[in-house]
């Protein structure tokens, strides 16, 4: 028996392709939760399928292995983080946020960093990705590329602030971005380990960024 392929009204794209993509997205969403909660090694294909509401057959028709799914998920998380920064920068530029913070430029950077989706599950997932990036050269290369892109986005904010003559920095924009991202990510992990909720994590990271501000901002 030959399977029929449903077409969209325009006859240009198979409906099965849309369903397949929707299935992949649900599996990736479920995997993000399972990996964050249990870790890559402990997470099973069955647990991912159960969370997504699919069978093992649906999983293996989309991914050959759990590692393949994890690699794609890591890339998706990286792209989402960078995109969130870009969108916030665009919003601040549109609303004049980069020219209305003469007395508190650090607040702008904090606002940008806080939109990266780093609630508890996201922080756990990113920590899991980092661990496996140390062991897998492919994942390591993808992680470093994402990290560089994120740093470039934050450095652009810093450059925009400096060019608007709202504030002067002691270091090049790239170095300021590297320092701020390192502090922010490190403290968000420590705060999550301490069992703090998302609001408290944001406060803790903001306090730490404020402590390093005098090191990079000329008063």
- SS3 (DSSP) at 7: strand
Output DSSP code: residue 117. -
Q: Kindly give, in sequence order, each residue whose CB lies less than 8 Å from that of residue 129, ignoring residues fewer than 6 positions away.
A: 74, 77, 139, 143
Cα torsion angle, 216, 88, 74, 34, sign: positive
Angle at 195 between CA 194 and CA 201, to 5 degrees: 85
Taking residues 106-121, report their average pLDDT.
63
* Beta carbons of 27 and 59 less than 8 angstroms apart: yes
At 27-59, the pLDDT tens digits run 999 999 999 889 888 999 999 999 999 999 999
pTM assigned to the model: 0.70
At 58-83, the pLDDT tens digits run 999 999 998 889 888 888 887 777 77
Radius of gyration of the chain (CA): 21
């Amino acid at each position: 028996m030959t399977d029929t392929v449903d077409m969209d009204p325009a006859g240009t794209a198979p409906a099965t392709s849309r369903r397949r993509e929707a299935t992949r997205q649900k599996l990736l969403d479920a995997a993000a939760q399972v990996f964050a909660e249990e870790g890559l090694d402990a997470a099973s294909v069955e647990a991912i399928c159960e969370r997504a509401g699919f069978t093992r057959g649906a999983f293996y028709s989309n991914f050959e292995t759990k590692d393949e799914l994890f690699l794609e998920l890591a890339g998706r998380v990286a792209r989402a983080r960078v995109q969130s920064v870009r969108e916030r920068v665009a919003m601040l530029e549109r609303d004049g946020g980069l020219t209305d913070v003469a007395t508190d430029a650090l607040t702008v950077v904090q606002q940008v960093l806080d939109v990266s989706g780093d609630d508890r599950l996201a922080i756990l997932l990113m920590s899991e990705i980092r661990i496996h990036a140390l062991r897998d050269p492919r994942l390591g290369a993808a992680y470093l590329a994402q990290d560089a892109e994120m740093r470039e986005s934050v450095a652009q904010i810093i450059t925009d602030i400096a060019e608007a003559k709202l504030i002067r920095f002691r270091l090049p924009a790239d170095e300021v971005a590297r320092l701020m991202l390192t502090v922010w990510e490190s403290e968000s992990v420590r705060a999550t380990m301490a069992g703090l909720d998302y609001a408290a994590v944001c406060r803790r990271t903001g306090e730490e960024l404020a402590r390093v501000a005098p090191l990079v901002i000329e008063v």
